[in-house]
Amino acid sequence: MSPAEEYKSRSQRYVRETERLRKLSDRLSMARLAAFAGGLVLFAVLLSFSVFAAVVTLAAVLIVFIWLVIKYENTEKSRKRFLRLAEINRLELKCLDGDFSGFKTGEEYAVRDHPYTYDLDIFGKASLFQYLCRTTSRPASDRLAEFLKQPAPREEIVSRQKAVAELQPMTDWRQELMTLGYLNAGAANDPAPLIQWLGSDDLFQKTRGEKIITGCLSLLALAALISVITGLPAAILAPVFGVNFIFYFTRFRRISRLQEQVSRSSDLLKAYSVIIKLIETRNFASPLLQKLKSAFMDEIAASDRIRQLSKLVGRLDYRLNVLISAPLNLLFFTDIHFCLALEKWKREHAPRIPAWFAAMAEFEALASLANMAFNNPDWVYPQVTEDYFVFRAEDMGHPLIPAGRRISNSFTAEGAGKAIIVTGSNMSGKSTFLRTCGVNAVLAFAGAPVCASAFTVSLVRLHSSMRISDSLEENISSFYAELRRLRAIISGAESDPKVFLLLDEILRGTNSDDRYTGSVALIKQLTGYGAVTMVATHDLRLAGLEQELPDAIENYHFDVKVNDEELFFDYLLTPGICSSFNASLLMKKMGIKV
């Protein structure tokens, strides 16, 4: 089946299962109510005949009632799981149609000063990140963002490609990974406070002494309670519980501080535990996935250890309920024992937590890339080479344009010290083509498949200057902002010319003569360093550089067709210089007399 057929079939199946479980839940709910009410009636009726029969009947009904409650809770849990799975497949169907607004935007990773992410729409609404992201945990989202923000070493790219290819057909497993994260309330929380606590010093240093003292005081309090029950005056409880209160109060500040450090981490840890458990129970073939899974393997599984920590954190949070915590602490010092257990867990396992979270995050990030690969089976895993410079693409299109509207182009550029000049009329596709090259390179460097039938690219640094705006906050104009951007590009190319530069309408903020003079100087300077630059421009004079620098300049263009004063764009890249423009016709259509 095609991805669309697969998602539609899965969605329909999960919706049917959700509806079946909803009806079952309704019946169990009614049965639970009937058992409770019926039990009370039977107990009242039988009580007048036989106390023993009434008690036995009530006990039997209570057992049935408890079974119905457990059955109802398990049914509701399954219903919510299938409901989430149905929603996941519904969103994937929308994504195939070009609407991926139901996923994370990655706005928090958008930085204007990044070498290329702002210009190439890597983060934010309708971005590459939103198209890709299927992560549920914060560490996984961070890791996926790292994939897109900087190229990985070539060996890492190859290992990721193998891992993604293995995960690509595992739709059930990938969607279960997403579902487990979504169904747990703490899945999207930031684990940074927990990580900070794991690296902090213990608040309870004399562990053995604390246990001995609390044990003795608890025994003394229990003995006093038993004495009062057996007939001694209740007044003896006052000094005993007074001592216990003073002892607890002297530790209160440390208990509260520890509770603040780990509070609200229980749900997060529960979510991470079930996600890691799913990874632990699956066998993998690719070296990278095997290596990541090995981070969880030990005598006791990482998921079990994390679940243990989740329980300890949850128990310490009981202290927020004063009616429960007050008597327990006066008798047994439960807060202190939970704190001691937490710090013991930290001493034994804290060094492993970062590796566990990192491996989990890598799995989720790779699963996101695999989901994209499954959605686009006609895309290809690229060849990434260390040789500088190679860019060969066949049938390359922009990944964020739906297949039904996407126009693909083939393009080749080889050799260092090159400038590819792309001319064309307004709206003909110049800027989109530059972004197409850049976004596919980003995917290639992340270890993902690219939107092409064949793709080879050098492992280089990407840098762009395409979307320049002024800044009121910094009190700078768009022209000065572009100059700063170009200065960074020049400095980077001078220090390391193995770079692929994407420049759109250089120096647009000045007059045409200065723009041409500056653009020529910049292109000559960059090609002189050995860098490879792709320039989109309206200025045909720049294309004339091919006559002066025939070995360094290559000209391409996008054309426009006019039929009865109607514009038609084919968005096909063609060698040579553009000879048709449309600005005057567009202005005429807007009512400007030209």
Reported as a single tens digit per residue, the pLDDT across 172-187 is: 999 999 998 887 655 5
Q: Looking at the domain assignment, is residue 110 inside a domain?
A: no
DSSP for 450-505, written as a single string: BSSSEEEEE--EEEEE-----BTTTTB-HHHHHHHHHHHHHHHHHH---EEEEEES
409 and 536 share a domain? yes
Tell me what pLDDT residue 201 has.
Answer: 87
Average pLDDT score over residue span 402-413: 93
Average pLDDT score over residue span 450-462: 97
For the cut 50, the answer to whether the pLDDT of residue 475 exceeds it is: no
The range of the structural domain enclosing residue 150 comes to 115-375
More confident residue, 593 or 505: 505
Q: Looking at the domain assignment, is residue 317 inside a domain?
A: yes
Q: Looking at the domain assignment, is residue 166 inside a domain?
A: yes
Q: Among 333-347, 444-458, 496-510, 576-590, which stretch is predicted with the lowest mean pLDDT?
A: 576-590
Confidence band, pLDDT 50/70/90 cuts, at residue 266: confident
Residue 434 to residues 16, 195, 334, 439, Cα–Cα distance (Å) = 46, 41, 63, 9
> Residue 95, class by beta-carbon neighbours within 10 Å (0-12 exposed, 13-18 middle, 19+ buried)?
buried
For the cut 90, the answer to whether the pLDDT of residue 145 exceeds it is: yes
91 and 130 share a domain? no
Instruction: Please answer whether residues 139 and 269 qualify as being in contact, where contact means their C-beta atoms are separated by less than 8 angstroms.
Output: no
424 and 555 share a domain? yes
Tell me what pLDDT residue 36 has.
Answer: 87
Q: Looking at the domain assignment, is residue 334 inside a domain?
A: yes
Tell me what pLDDT residue 46 has.
Answer: 84
263 and 193 share a domain? yes
For the cut 60, the answer to whether the pLDDT of residue 143 exceeds it is: yes
574 and 549 share a domain? yes
Confidence band, pLDDT 50/70/90 cuts, at residue 39: confident
Tell me what pLDDT residue 241 has.
Answer: 86
183 and 125 share a domain? yes
Tell me what pLDDT residue 499 has.
Answer: 95
What the block records as the tokens of 236 is 């003896």
194 and 50 share a domain? no
574 and 520 share a domain? yes
Q: Looking at the domain assignment, is residue 74 inside a domain?
A: yes
CA distance 60 to 418: 85
Instruction: Please answer whether residues 430 and 357 qualify as being in contact, where contact means their C-beta atoms are separated by less than 8 angstroms.
Output: no
What the block records as the tokens of 408 is 């693909």
What angle do the packed helices 430-446 and 138-149 form, to 10 degrees? 120
Task: Mark residue 408 as left, alpha or beta (left: phi above 0; alpha: psi -120 to 50; beta: remaining).
Answer: beta
Percent of the chain surpassing pLDDT 70: 93
For the cut 80, the answer to whether the pLDDT of residue 282 exceeds it is: yes
Domain tally, the chain: 3
Q: What are phi and psi of 535, to 5 degrees?
A: -120, 125
Q: Looking at the domain assignment, is residue 102 inside a domain?
A: no
CA distance 384 to 444: 7
Give me the sign of the Cα torsion angle 586, 411, 468, 527.
negative
Cis peptide preceding 43, ω within 30 of 0: no
Give me the sign of the Cα torsion angle 456, 457, 458, 459.
negative
Give me the sign of the Cα torsion angle 37, 38, 41, 47.
negative
How does the average pLDDT of the chain come out, rounded? 89
CA distance 513 to 507: 11
Tell me what pLDDT residue 332 has.
Answer: 84
Task: Mark residue 108 as left, alpha or beta (left: phi above 0; alpha: psi -120 to 50; beta: remaining).
Answer: alpha
342 and 484 share a domain? no
CA distance 181 to 172: 14
Domain end point (choices 321, 348, 375): 375
> pLDDT tens, 532-549?
999 999 888 898 899 999
66 and 140 share a domain? no
> pLDDT tens, 496-518?
899 999 999 888 777 778 888 99
Q: Which residue has the tokens 């219903």?
A: 79
Count of residues making up the chain: 594
For the cut 90, the answer to whether the pLDDT of residue 284 exceeds it is: yes
Distance in Å from the first CA to the final CA of the chain: 55
Average pLDDT score over residue span 207-236: 86
CA distance 440 to 316: 49
pTM of the model: 0.88
Tell me what pLDDT residue 325 has.
Answer: 79
Task: Mark residue 263 as left, alpha or beta (left: phi above 0; alpha: psi -120 to 50; beta: remaining).
Answer: beta
Tell me what pLDDT residue 592 has.
Answer: 62
For the cut 90, the answer to whether the pLDDT of residue 580 exceeds it is: no
209 and 297 share a domain? yes
Average pLDDT score over residue span 303-329: 84
DSSP for 348-364, written as a single string: HHGGGHHHHHHHHHHHH
369 and 390 share a domain? no
What the block records as the tokens of 310 is 């989740």
> pLDDT tens, 180-212?
888 765 554 678 888 888 888 888 877 788 888
> Residue 555, class by beta-carbon neighbours within 10 Å (0-12 exposed, 13-18 middle, 19+ buried)?
buried
Q: Looking at the domain assignment, is residue 191 inside a domain?
A: yes
Name the β-bridge partners of 561.
568
CATH of the domain at 423: 3.40.50.300
Domain end point (choices 63, 95, 127): 95
CA distance 163 to 366: 7
Describe the strand order of the beta sheet including 566-575 as a list of residue ranges: 461-465, 499-504, 532-537, 419-424, 553-563, 566-575
Tell me what pLDDT residue 588 has.
Answer: 65
Confidence band, pLDDT 50/70/90 cuts, at residue 474: very low
Q: Which amino acid is at 535?
A: V
More confident residue, 321 or 564: 321
The C-alpha angle 241, 251, 255, rounded to 5 degrees, equals 115
Q: Among 118-122, 321-325, 580-584, which stretch is predicted with the lowest mean pLDDT?
A: 580-584
Q: Pinpoint the alpha helices (H) of 97-236.
A: 128-132, 138-149, 154-167, 171-182, 192-198, 207-229
